[in-house]
Amino acid sequence: MSNLKHIETDLIHAGIDGDSFTGSVNVPIYQTSTYQQDGIGKTRNGWEYSRTGNPTRFALEKLIADLEHGSDGFAFASGMAAVTAVLQLFNSGDKILITNNVYGGTYRVLDRIFSRFNLSFESVDTSNPDHVRQKITPDVKAIWIESPANPLLTITDLKLISSIAYENQLLTIVDNTFMTPYLQNPLDLGADIVVHSATKYLGGHSDLIAGLVVTKDSALGKELAFIQNATGGVLQPFDSFLLIRGIKTLALRMDRHVENAVKIARHLDNHPAIKKIYYPGLPYLPGYEINRRQAKNGGAMISFELKKEYNVEQFFKSLQIIRLAESLGGVESLVCHPATMTHASIPEDLRNQLGIIQNLIRLSPGIENIKDLIADLNQAITRSKV
């Protein structure tokens, strides 16, 4: 079943809904590496080896393809395995333009691994279409976008950049981790490939590592299927099951995450200890207008800068409910220190130039009671004054 009426319904029933063999309402965990064949070349329904295909993983892959309105879905052992598989579409000598504050791991795999195979990249300000146009040379084959981008929540006009890419015969790849298909569908805006770290909102409970890819058409889908099977970074059946389970409640969770984020953003924006706040979900903050046209709302990630008189280390230590940790998108609120955590692999001068400075904090509000979260932030800010 695909693309039923509304996404809240699709989240629960799209892809492969249950199990036709037994009537089980959930997709079973097919914990198997291989499948008996009835004769040479005679598989039962095409299943032959679980790196190539596994029914639990396949159900997840159909589900994410439906949710992102694409042709084919692929599940990987991590977001980085998904990113890596997509980068393997390219050849030595090709170049990729990337949003200038992409996820640190994406930067690192390009900078330290793919560069050794002569796949080059350049950071560009994808929020500025003229800047993108200037950077397109004959070797450029793709534009890799995050919107909102990590951690300053910079918004890129996905429709505009996709159309520039299309005119120049480049692929548009969007890392949609921060928004999820519940809030934003990049393929509908002209992108060719969507990538997710499903470790974050899609899984939603900070209990698994997973990555997903969706292609717009089956030609790209065939290439990705080949790469997935040839390189083998697949998601295991049990984790595929957990992820399907997580996705079922995505709408409920995202609604609460966003509601909490808006309230916290408003609160922090008026707080005397805060120098600057980044959140594309408030009308008077940058990125709001473009984001409103391409996404349901501003999402749930917030970054903010404490004034100089406040000590970030002390702030993190003082928090009682909100925890200092890598990652985001779980039901529990997490904060992180981008300069030394998520973006540590970006050179310091580039970090400072981008605004990823020492007093910058990234917050992923969970689904706890908002009064408790605001009280926790307030007391930690008070205690961090030097």
Quick check: 80 binds ligand PLP (CB under 6 A)? yes
Q: Is 175 a catalytic residue?
A: yes
Show Cβ contacts of residue 366 under 8 Å, excluding neighbours closer than 6 positions: 257, 260, 330, 331, 332, 333, 334, 373
Figure out which of the listed residues 12, 209, 325, 331 binds ligand PLP, where binding follows CB under 6 A.
209
Burial 23-41 (b: 16+ CB within 10 A, else e): eeeebebbeeeebeeeeee
Quick check: 78 binds ligand PLP (CB under 6 A)? yes
Show Cβ contacts of residue 150 under 8 Å, excluding neighbours closer than 6 positions: 101, 102, 103, 104, 178, 301, 338, 342, 343, 362
Whichever of 76 and 310 has its CB closer to ligand PLP, that residue is 76
Whichever of 311 and 327 has its CB closer to ligand PLP, that residue is 327
Q: With contact defined as beta carbons under 8 Å apart, do 23 and 263 qualify? A: no
Return the residues of window 325-384 that contact ligand PLP according to CB under 6 A: none
In angstroms, what is the minimal distance from the CB of 202 to ligand PLP?
Answer: 10
Return the residues of window 133-192 that contact ligand PLP according to CB under 6 A: 146, 150, 175, 177
Return the residues of window 101-130 that contact ligand PLP according to CB under 6 A: 103, 105-106
Whichever of 53 and 338 has its CB closer to ligand PLP, that residue is 338
CA distances from 282 to 78, 255, 269, 274 (A): 32, 16, 10, 16
Figure out which of the listed residues 50, 156, 162, 197 binds ligand PLP, where binding follows CB under 6 A.
197
- Candidates 57-65, 100-108, 273-281, 288-296; binding stretch for ligand PLP (CB under 6 A): 100-108
| Calpha distance 243→199 (Å, rounded) | 9
Whichever of 44 and 112 has its CB closer to ligand PLP, that residue is 112
Whichever of 93 and 232 has its CB closer to ligand PLP, that residue is 232
Phi, psi of 48 (to 5 degrees): -130, -30
- Candidates 41-49, 93-101, 193-201, 273-281; binding stretch for ligand PLP (CB under 6 A): 193-201
Q: Is 51 a catalytic residue?
A: yes
Q: Give me the active site residues, please.
A: 51, 103, 175, 200
Rule CB under 6 A: which residues touch ligand PLP? 78-80, 103, 105-106, 146, 150, 175, 177, 197, 199-200, 209, 211
